[in-house]
Structure 1
Amino acid sequence: MTYRATGRPSPGRRLAAAALRRLRRIRRPKSADDWLGAGLIALIAVLTIAQALVMLVEWLLRTWWALPSLTVGLTGAIWARWRVRILRARATARRLAELRYSLEELDAMTPSQFEDAVRDLMRRDGVDARRVGGAGDLAADVIGTHPPTRQIVVVQCKHTTTGRSVESRVIHEVNGTAGPAHHADVAVVVTNGGFTREARRRAAQFHMALIDRERLELWADQGASLPDMLSLGSMWRGRRYRLLHRLE
């Protein structure tokens, strides 16, 4: 079975793309001085690379006995990375086979149907979730528990048919009730639209997670895992979306 890679490009690919964009901005030398300067830079680069290669060869000759261990370790690291990629691809395929929503399907839903869809996607990803949205929901439409970590995730859903962006007022409302009223560890606002700049700034200040239209597509249609998106269980990366009252 063939599994299609999903999600954002890897850091290596993003770095290569950035380097390529910078190379395209380099202008062709025009004057003799430009050519002379470019030649000197190229000569320095060649000499630097040659010196590095000489140092590498000398080091290899001095530590030849370490080459077998280095080869085994490098091979093991490559195999482990390849294995992790395969397992992640299989997990993504399983999630997509279980439940998948396109953006068009999500856009066509009513607000209550959108809340049900978010709940079902959380359940698909192994989060014990229930819908609580309605009158007096205290800025929480879905509440879930991540079994491996017992972290409580509170989600506020904002469905739009006009592409309207969620404003900072919503961020303040969720932040004001997620901890005191729902004892949440993580608070999330999900929308099929976008967020204003001020809303994003406030969310970062409060350590809240935002899932906009782009991230929603990654989650619902491309099989990204919500625990991975929120870094649940990660000691360091998880602090980004750990509510401030839980970091004290």
Structure 2
Amino acid sequence: MTYRATGRLTLGQRLATVVLRKVRRIRRPKSAEDWVGAGLLALVAILTVIQVLGMLLEWLLRTWWAIPALVVATAGAVWLRVQMRVLRARANARRLADLRYSLHQLDAMTPSQFEDAVRNLMSRDGIDAHRVGGAGDLAADVIGVHLPTRLTIVVQCKHTTTGRSVESRVIHEVNGTAGPAHQADVAVVVTNGGFTREARRRAEQFRIALIDRERLAQWADQGVGLPDMLALNGRWRGRRYRLLHRLE
């Protein structure tokens, strides 16, 4: 899976950029002396690589037993980390099993409190979620992992006190950052208001899930789980709302 570089470059992208700049500055040898010098440098580099590979091979032959031990230790550490996340998510789910928010409560919240409520509801439903909303959040207020399927869910929250409808601009923002910036499998926009017709059309086009006031009541007050609303369980495992880049 590849994305075009957007926003801040990763360490690997920065290193690749530096290497490419250095390569472009290398002048092609013109005289015989230049060719001889370049050949000597290339020979030294090749001999150095061969020497390093020989030392590595010798070390592997002497300590061959360390490789299986390292593999087992790494696998054990990964398994333990996954199990800890599962246990933490289950503990949060048990703690929040009876969590309910009425629409009246949600309407009275501040935007940050609304984001916290969405995070709590996701945790209640067995999603390992954390809130990231704030300046520079790149259209993601809550990010979670649905542990049974390992799908990453990015949620953009839009709270309103005037009953306004979310416009298509928000859908475009989520579509532009959910995959490239957050490596999301599923993107969701949640509001205690509604969505414009154009926003709904764009969301369907981009396979972004929308939770409006009616669906929010089902989720927050009536106890319908978010994995069920997104069809993450069962045969299709969220394919209906799987972002297009995840289906390629």
Higher helix share: 1
Q: How does 1:195-210 map to 2 (within 5 A)?
A: 195-210=195-210
Secondary structure, aligned partner of 2:134: coil
1:195–1:212 CA contact under 8 A, matched in 2: yes
1:96–1:221 CA contact under 8 A, matched in 2: no
Distance 1:181 1:223, change over 3 A: same
Secondary structure, aligned partner of 2:180: helix
2:125–2:226 CA contact under 8 A, matched in 1: yes
Q: How does 1:114-129 map to 2 (within 5 A)?
A: 114-129=114-129
Superposed CA RMSD in Å reads: 1.5
Deviation at 1:238, TM superposition (A): 2.4
Do residues 164 (structure 1) and 164 (structure 2) align?
A: yes
Distance 1:141 1:231, change over 3 A: same
* Superposition TM-score, scaled by structure 2 size: 0.61
Deviation at 1:240, TM superposition (A): 1.4
Distance 1:125 1:213 in 2: 19
* Cα deviation code 1:70-113 (max 9, x no counterpart): xxxxxxxxxxxxxxxxxxxxxxxx89852000000000000000
Deviation at 1:126, TM superposition (A): 0.3
1:96–1:222 CA contact under 8 A, matched in 2: no
Aligned to 1:58: none
Aligned to 2:137: 137
Aligned to 1:220: 220
Aligned to 1:232: 232
Distance 1:234 1:180, change over 3 A: farther
Amino acid at match of 2:147: P
* Superposition TM-score, scaled by structure 1 size: 0.61
- Quote the sequence identity (%): 85
Amino acid at match of 1:163: G
Q: How does 1:65-214 map to 2 (within 5 A)?
A: 98-214=98-214
1:203–1:210 CA contact under 8 A, matched in 2: yes
Distance 1:190 1:177, change over 3 A: same
Secondary structure, aligned partner of 1:153: strand
Identify which of structures 1 and 2 has the higher relative contact order when contacts are C-alpha pairs closer than 8 Å and 6+ apart: 1
1:114–1:157 CA contact under 8 A, matched in 2: yes
- Size of the aligned set, in residue pairs, is 155
Deviation at 1:237, TM superposition (A): 6.8
1:96–1:223 CA contact under 8 A, matched in 2: no
1:95–1:125 CA contact under 8 A, matched in 2: no
* Cα deviation code 1:153-209 (max 9, x no counterpart): 000000000000000000000000000000000000000000000000000000010
1:95–1:223 CA contact under 8 A, matched in 2: no
Secondary structure, aligned partner of 1:182: coil
1:188–1:209 CA contact under 8 A, matched in 2: yes
Q: Which runs of 5+ in 1 are unaligned?
A: 1-93
2:97–2:124 CA contact under 8 A, matched in 1: no
* Cα deviation code 1:94-139 (max 9, x no counterpart): 8985200000000000000000000000000000000000010000
Secondary structure, aligned partner of 2:178: helix
2:96–2:123 CA contact under 8 A, matched in 1: no
Distance 1:246 1:163 in 2: 33
Distance 1:238 1:124 in 2: 19
2:102–2:221 CA contact under 8 A, matched in 1: yes
